[in-house]
Amino acid sequence: MKYFQNSLSSKLIKLFAVVGLLLAFQNCDVLETAEEEDTKITDTLFVKFVNDANSVASVNYFSYQKMGKASESTTPDGDWSGNMITNNTIVAPGGYVFFTLKIPNLHWARYRLGVVDTLGNQILLHEQPNYQEANTPVTHWGADTRTISTTIYKSETTGNYYTSGYSDWAGID
């Protein structure tokens, strides 16, 4: 009888050990899946575009061009998009608009703007004579949401509108 009890105890211990190992392996898979979802790369960026209150013109046009992986690429990685500001929306100084850009995580893009002057003329900044186009950036890192702010001024010498200041940061403010 004692042999039978020792044998049964031994079998129960082995059974619990096997069940414990199976549960441990199952939990490892769950952890790996959770980690994979946390680091899942998204290629959409929800943006709040702000026309700074100090701007001298309203913005009615925002287009972007993908530039590749941040800190690795300065060469365009695609064509210019269409206007992301839809429905004839005009963003007055101090105003903002929301839209979604297709920029992969850890990548960046540059953008172009168009304005409406005080006479109602629509002007694409990059199409002005002798315009010096800047690489105004929008980045996709830190979050899948971004606030972009730009200040538009007008040169008294050339009469051209231009971006004087710009910034972008993770999150929606």
- Give the residue, 56 or 23, on which the prediction is more confident: 56
The predicted structure's pLDDT at residue 130:
92
Which pTM does this prediction carry?
A: 0.75
Same domain, 131 and 156: yes
Q: What value does the mean pLDDT take over residues 47-70?
A: 96
The letter for the amino acid at 112 is: R
* Residues 109/169/83/74 CA torsion (nearest 10 deg): -10
Considering the domain architecture, whether residues 135 and 99 belong to the same structural domain is answered as: yes
26: burial class by Cβ within 10 Å (0-12, 13-18, 19+)? exposed
Residues 101 and 23 grouped into a single domain: no
Domain match, 58 and 92 both: yes
Q: How many domains would you assign to the chain?
A: 2
User: In the 8-state DSSP scheme, what is residue 75?
Assistant: S
Domain that residue 87 falls in: 45-170
Average pLDDT, the chain: 83
